[in-house]
Amino acid sequence: MKKIVISVLGQDRPGILAAVSRILFEQDCNIENVHQTILQSEFSGIFIAAIPDEMSVDLLHLELSRSVEPLELHVHVKLLGNNQPDQTFDDSELFVLTARGPDRKGLVAAITEIIARHGANVTNLKAIFRGGDNPSDNIMIYEVDIPAHTDHQTLYSELREKAASLGLEISIQHRRIFEALNRI
Amino acid sequence: MLTEKEILTTLEMVQNEHLDVRTVTLGISLFDCVSDDLERFMANIHGKITRLADNLVSTCDRVGEKYGIPVVNKRISVSPIAVAGALFSPAQMIKIAKILDRAAEDMGVDFIGGFSALVEKGIAKGDRSLIEAIPQALAQTNRVCASVNVASTRAGINMDAVLLMGHTIKQAAALTAEQDGLACAKLCVFANIPEDIPFMAGAYLGIGEADAVINVGVSGPGVVKKAIDRALNSDPDMDLGQLSELIKRTAYKVTRVGELLGGEVAHQLGIRFGVVDLSLAPTPNVGDSVGEIFQSLGLLNIGVPGTTAALALINDAVKKGGAFASSHVGGLSGAFVPVSEDLKISAAVESGHLSIEKLEAMTSVCSVGLDMIPIPGDTSAETLAGIIADEMAIGVINKKTTATRIIPVPGKKAGEQAHFGGLLGGSVILPINNEKGDNLFIRRGGRIPAPIHSLNN
C-alpha cells in the first residue's frame, strides 16, 4: 500500500474539499488524515491518503490539478516513504507557550529559534498579529513537545530573556493545566 | 487540540485574578515518635519532620513552575501534640513547640500546625499541659500554630474548656502585647474541627489519618469576583440562580488546579494525596478579597442586610463546584471571612457596615467562624469565653465547623488600628457590646449536652 500527501493552497471558497475528495474517491484512494485551516482569506489543506499500488503519483497530481483549476488552487502531491521519521519523542511532554506584546518583525523567528536549538518540536502554532502595541492584539500560542532530556530551566530562561528583550509577556505551562481547568 | 479561548481564559485567571494554589500542607503523624524521654521525643520529631518534608518546598516550586501556577505556601501539620506528648508538663510542652518551630524553619515552611488538643468532652492531663503552655509556646515561636477543639455535635460544648480558652487567649495576647497580641492570630478555638484542614491556623493531622498525607488548599476569591463581573457585564439581568451556577463552575475550575498540582506533588514525594480544601481564603492584597464578591453580587458593602443570604449562596456554590472537581474534598471548603486578612472586610468594619454581631450571624452559613477579629484589649476572659461559647453553639447545633480566632489587642480600644503584618493583615478594632459585669453563666462550667437531631426546626 502506497501513501501520498497532498497539499492544497489558495483563496478560500465553497467546494474545495468536495473537489479534492471527489477525485480521490474516483481514483480509489482512501483518505486517512485531513487537516484544513483558513488564515484570513486563504485556504490551506493537507491530506494523507492510501492509493492503489499500481497508481502513478504524477497522474493523480494531474487529475487533481485539473479538477481544482477552476478554483484557482495550487496542488502539491508527494509520495510518502515507508520509513517516515517519527518527530514525536519517546519520553516527552507537551507544553503550551504563550507570548503577547507589541507587534514587530521577527517575533516568531526569535521564539522558534530557541525552541529549535533545544531540540523541542512545535506541534501546533497559532499566531495573530493585528499590529500595534496592545498585547491582546498580538498573540502567539505554541504547543511544544519538549523531550525529557532537554534542560527545561535553560530553555525557559532563554525564552524569558528573549521575550523580555522584545517586550513580550511569556508563559510556559504544561498542557494538562488547560485540560484540567476547561474540560470535564 | 486546545482552543484559543481555553488558553487565554486560563492565562487571565493566573496573571490577573490571583489563581494559585494557596497551600500544600504535608501532614505528618508523630505517634511513632513517642518516648517518655523528652530529649528523645524531640529528636524523633525533628528527625521525622525533616526526613519527610525535606523535598516539600523544592517539589512544590518545581510542580508550580511546570504548570505556571504558583504554590504560594508550603506548610506542615502534625498529630495533636496534646496526645503525642501527653506525658509532658507545660514547661516541656513549650520545648516541644520550639522543636516544631525549628523543624519548620529548617524545612523553609512558614507555618506548622498541630500544637493542638481535642477536649470537647473532657480535658485529659496532656490536654491541660498543652493548653497551659499555649501562651508561652506561641509567644516564643514564629511558625507554630495552635488549635483547641472545645465542642462537637456529638459531645456538646465543654464549657470548662471554653472558659480556659478565654483565659489562655488573654495570656497569649499579654505576652505579645508589643505586636498587638500576635500570638492570638496563631490560635483557633473550634467546634467540629475537621482532621484534614490544610489552612492555618487550624491545621493538624487527625488521629484517624495515615502516617503522612498531602492536603491542598486552593483559593481564588479574585477569580470568582472577576467571573461575576464579566458575566454581569455581558448580561446585567442575571438572577441569583444563574450567578450561583456561575460561581459553581468557577469553583470547579479553581479546584481542578489544586487536584492536579496536589496529586503531582504527592506522587513526586511518594506520599498519599489526601484532600483538596476549596476555600475562598483572602489575603490583604487588592483583587484577592472575599468582601469584593458581595459588592459584585450587588450589595452596597459586606455587612449590610442581605449579606448572610449572599454568603450562604457563595458558600454553597463553592462547595458544590469543588465537590464535583475533586475526588476527595475535605478541610473547611467554603468561604472564609477573616476580618484583618481581607482589605474589603476590614474596610467594611471601618466604615461601620460590619459589626461582630453581624459577623456572628454570617458564621452560621460560612465555612469557619469569627476569624481574625481584633477586639479591645480590656475585654475580660469571661467575655471572650462568652463569644467563643456563642460561636461553638452555632457549630454544634448546625452540625458544622465553627471557630474563633479573636485577638484582644493589649492597650488598644475600639476604633484604633491593630497591625499583625504579612498575610495576617490589620484592621480597626471592633467594639464588644454588653460586656460589662460578671458572667455567671460562663463561670458555671460543665458541659452543654449534645443536641437532639430529630425535632428539627
Query: How high is the mean pLDDT in each 10-residue block of chain B (457 residues)?
Result: 84 82 95 96 98 96 93 95 97 98 97 97 97 98 97 98 98 97 97 92 93 92 92 95 95 92 96 92 87 95 96 94 89 89 94 95 92 96 96 96 97 95 93 85 95 86
Instruction: Tell me how many domains chain A contains.
Output: 2
Q: Which of B399, B424, B269 is nearest to B336 (CA)?
A: B424
Same domain flag for B55 and B126: yes
Are A73 and A130 within one domain? no
Report the pLDDT value the prediction gives residue A129, as an integer from 0 to 100. Answer: 85
A-chain residue closest to B250, CA distance = A181
| A chain contacts of residue B1, beta-carbon cutoff 8 Å | 124, 143
The set of residues, in sequence order, having a beta carbon less than 8 Å from that of B217 and lying 6+ positions away, is: B21, B22, B23, B24, B25, B198, B199, B258, B276, B277, B279, B281, B331
Q: Are residues A112 and A72 in the same domain?
A: no
**Cell matching residue A94:** 507537551
Range of the domain at B180: 22-191
Inside any domain, residue A145: yes
In angstroms, the CA B411 to CA B190 distance is 27
Regarding whether B136 and B35 lie in a shared domain, the answer is yes
Give pLDDT tens digits for B257-272: 999 999 999 999 999 9
Q: Do both B181 and B312 map to the same domain? A: no
For residue A32, the distance in angstroms to the closest alpha carbon of chain B comes to 18
One domain, residues A51 and A102: no
Give SS3 for A94: strand
Contact residues for A174 (Cβ-Cβ < 8 A; gap 6+): A93, A94, A95, A96, B66, B67, B68
* Number of domains within chain B: 2
Q: Residue A172 sits in which domain range? A: 92-182
Within this chain, do residues B178 and B309 fall inside the same structural domain, yes or no?
no
Question: Residue B453: inside a domain, yes or no?
Answer: no
Would you say B165 and B150 are in contact if contact means Cβ atoms under 8 Å apart?
yes
Cell of B353: 457596615
Residue B204 lies in a domain: no
Q: Tell me, yes or no, whether B120 and B229 share the same domain.
A: no
Q: Tell whether A103 is covered by a domain.
A: yes
> For testing the chain A interface, which of B17, B63, B67 should be mutated: the one with the most A CBs within 10 Å?
B67
CATH number of A46's domain: 3.30.70.260
In a domain, B202, yes or no: no
**Weakly modelled stretches of chain A, pLDDT under 70:** 82-89
Is the same domain home to A177 and A111?
yes
Whether A175 and A130 share a structural domain = yes
Residues near A33 by Cβ (< 8 Å), separated by ≥ 6?
Answer: A46, A47, A48
CA A114 to each of CA A91, A110, A120: distance values in angstroms, whole numbers, following the listed order:
20, 7, 9
Element (H, E) at B45: helix B38-52
Q: B381 in the Ramachandran plot: left (φ > 0), alpha (ψ -120 to 50) or beta?
A: alpha
- Domain end residue (candidates: A80, A107, A133): A80
* Cβ(B343)–Cβ(B376) below 8 Å: no
Q: Among A98, A139, A181, whose Cβ lies nearest the Cβ of B257?
A: A181
- Residue A17 shares a structural domain with residue A59: yes
In a domain, B143, yes or no: yes
Q: Length of chain A in residues, anyone? A: 184
Put simply, the answer to whether A180 touches B256 (Cβ < 8 Å) is yes
Q: Which of B156, B191, B226 is the last residue of a domain?
A: B191
CA B164, CA A157: separation in Å to the nearest integer?
55
Question: What's the pLDDT at A84?
Answer: 61
Closest CA to B73 of B256, B258, B210, B345: B258
Strand partners, A30: A50
CATH code (residue B272): 3.20.70.20
Provide the strand spans (E) within B327-369: 334-335
Q: What share of chain A is helix, strand, coil (3-state, %, to 5)?
A: 35, 40, 30
B274 and B231, same domain (yes or no): yes
Q: Per residue in A4-27, pLDDT tens? A: 999 999 999 998 999 999 999 999
Same domain, A148 and A106: yes
**Does B261 share its domain with B180?**
no
Residues B156 and B263 in one domain: no
B320 located within any domain: yes
Pair (A8, A54) in one structural domain: yes
Whether residue B107 lies inside any domain: the answer is yes
Query: Sign (positive/negative) of CA torsion A115, B59, B332, B147?
Result: negative
B50 in any annotated domain: yes
In a domain, A87, yes or no: no
Asked whether residue B249 is domain-assigned, the answer is yes
**CA-CA distances (angstroms) from residue B22 to A6, B215, B216, B291?**
51, 11, 8, 18
Closest Cβ opposite residue A173 in set B9, B67, B256: B67
* B69, B261 Cβ separation under 8 angstroms: yes
The beta-carbon neighbor of A178 closest among B7, B15, B66 is B7
Instruction: Specify whether B113 is located in the same domain as B223.
Output: no
The whole-angstrom separation of Cα A39 and Cα B447 is 74
Residues B300 and B180 reside in one and the same domain: no
Q: Record the cell numbers describing residue B32, joined without a space.
A: 511513632
- The reply to whether A113 falls in a domain is yes
Residues in chain B: 457
Candidates A146, A170, A178, A184, partner chain B, best to mutate (most B CBs within 10 A): A178
Find out whether B341 and B283 touch, Cβ atoms under 8 Å. Answer: yes
**B184 shares a domain with B62:** yes
Same domain, B38 and B93: yes
- CA–CA gap between residue B170 and residue B168 (Å, rounded): 5
